[in-house]
Amino acid sequence: MNLHTTDIANAAAEIRSRSSGPMRLLGTTIVLAVREIRRHLLRSFLTILGIVIGVMSVVTMVTLGNGATAAVQQSISSLGANILQIRPGQGFGRGGGGPQPPDFKEQDVEAIRTQVAGVRAVAPQAQSSGVAIRNAANWSTTVNGTTSDYFTAQQWNLNSGRIFTPAEEQAGKAVCILGNTVVQNLFRREDPIGERFRIKDVSCEVIGTLATRGQGGFGNDQDDVVIMPIKTVQRRFTGNRDIRNIMVSVDDAYDSTMVQNSISQLLRERRNISGAKQDDFNIFDTKQISDTLSGTTQILTALLGAVAAVSLLVGGIGIMNIMLVSVTERTREIGIRLAIGAVGREVLLQFLVEAVALACLGGVIGLLLALVASMVLAPILQVPFIFDPQINLLAFAFSAGIGVIFGYFPARRAASLNPIDALRHE
């Protein structure tokens, strides 16, 4: 019987390593496994393709899902941390086809500030729009009339300058604080502090500029705003003393739901809403919306990750099939090893190491491809790229586990071969 030279060399190497100790045996087994993988590169690549696709899919889906969750939280939190937005109407808008509910009054704001526990800041708002003009530059923007509590509620810091003084708010002075978008379009590289510009028929002095915030909730540019004292906007822009929106910042020590219920009860009393009559105002809780949307995106991410993980199982089945073919092809090599003194557990270890090596190689390639895919797709989907070491380690460990589970049966079959029958195999 003609025996392949490589088979004999492999068997001899295994005998020498076994006599040197278990660590040397394991090292030699790994070397032999890598050598066997290199002998059939194309087949090895096709074997691990399912693992590569599975790991890549799982990690990419979870990474992009985490980015989407972070984007949702960022968009909602841009409206303010633990903020209640109170508006007229029965929805987030101003109601349906019936008569529009009345706006709020200054007395409503004062009642919320003094009669509701857990309120950190209350900022009334009156809004308008207009074209801001300075020299040859002009820019269409939003005018937001409010009080200094607005900056506390929004936790919005200034880039330069100062906020309104109580005297300026009370007198309705034509002073303003600009968002970065307005600054860039009106003043270019100049320092706007102390300068004046005109918006509609109002000449306004710039006393401060806001720190950049970028895109906010619902895709609006938060930096495209001119903030003035609310009385200035009411007198010079809207022509009335109505308040369209009330922003309430809730103290972190209080439950926002309890504060929301207290405000709702107070406003029902002040707006003469009794019994089962429906509210003619709505309270928009940014924290609840953020938690709900974040929970939804996390569930969808987990679902997509679970679906993608199915391909890992398919990859494991592919490894088992190829390893069974490999056992058949290498029956004579197995017979040689068993004939010269190898025991069954050493043959089992040999094939099990090969299966795990294939699975781990597929896992590493999958992780690298997932990293590249996530970095490319994140800007396209407009979500932040968030590297999560936990999901990467978990995916790699799962791929290695797939190698152990689906490689055990072929390895067990190889270890149980009869040496005489194996040597007769052609």
pLDDT digits (tens, 9 = 90+) for 31-90: 766 777 777 777 778 778 888 888 888 888 888 888 887 777 676 666 555 788 899 986
Residues 139 and 177 grouped into a single domain: yes
Q: What is the pTM of this model?
A: 0.59
Q: How far apart are CA 400 and CA 186, in angstroms?
A: 59
> Do 175 and 164 meet the contact criterion of CB atoms below 8 Å apart?
yes
Domain assignment present for 90 = no
Residues 224 and 367 grouped into a single domain: no
Residues 133 and 252 grouped into a single domain: yes
Residues 251 and 313 grouped into a single domain: no
Domain assignment present for 79 = no
Residues 261 and 357 grouped into a single domain: no
In 20-172, alpha helices (H) = 22-39, 41-77, 106-115, 149-154, 166-171
| pLDDT for position 165 | 92
Number of domains in the chain: 2
Domain assignment present for 420 = yes
Domain assignment present for 139 = yes
Which tokens go with 286?
A: 């940014």
Residues 297 and 364 grouped into a single domain: yes
Residues 23 and 153 grouped into a single domain: no
What's the rounded mean pLDDT across residues 380-402? 85
Residues 218 and 131 grouped into a single domain: yes
Angle 138-132-175 from CA coordinates, rounded to 5°: 145
318 or 96, higher pLDDT: 318
Residues of the chain with pLDDT > 90: what percent?
A: 29
pLDDT digits (tens, 9 = 90+) for 161-216: 999 999 999 999 999 999 999 999 999 888 999 999 999 889 999 999 999 887 65
Question: Among all chains, which residue has been given the structure tokens 């709702």?
Answer: 264
Domain assignment present for 80 = no
pLDDT digits (tens, 9 = 90+) for 314-332: 777 777 777 777 776 666 6
Amino acid at 99: P
Residues 186 and 275 grouped into a single domain: yes
pLDDT band at 228 (very low <50, low <70, confident <90, very high): very high
What's the rounded mean pLDDT across residues 2-14? 49
* Domain end position, chosen among 238, 255, 279: 279
| pLDDT for position 325 | 73
Domain assignment present for 417 = yes
* Domain end position, chosen among 279, 314, 346: 279
| pLDDT for position 369 | 93
Residues 301 and 268 grouped into a single domain: no
Residues 305 and 410 grouped into a single domain: yes
| pLDDT for position 340 | 65
| pLDDT for position 93 | 47
Residues 177 and 259 grouped into a single domain: yes
Domain assignment present for 391 = yes
* Domain end position, chosen among 219, 246, 279: 279
Domain that holds residue 269: 102-279
| pLDDT for position 61 | 84
| pLDDT for position 263 | 93
385 or 421, higher pLDDT: 385
Domain assignment present for 22 = yes
Amino acid at 1: M
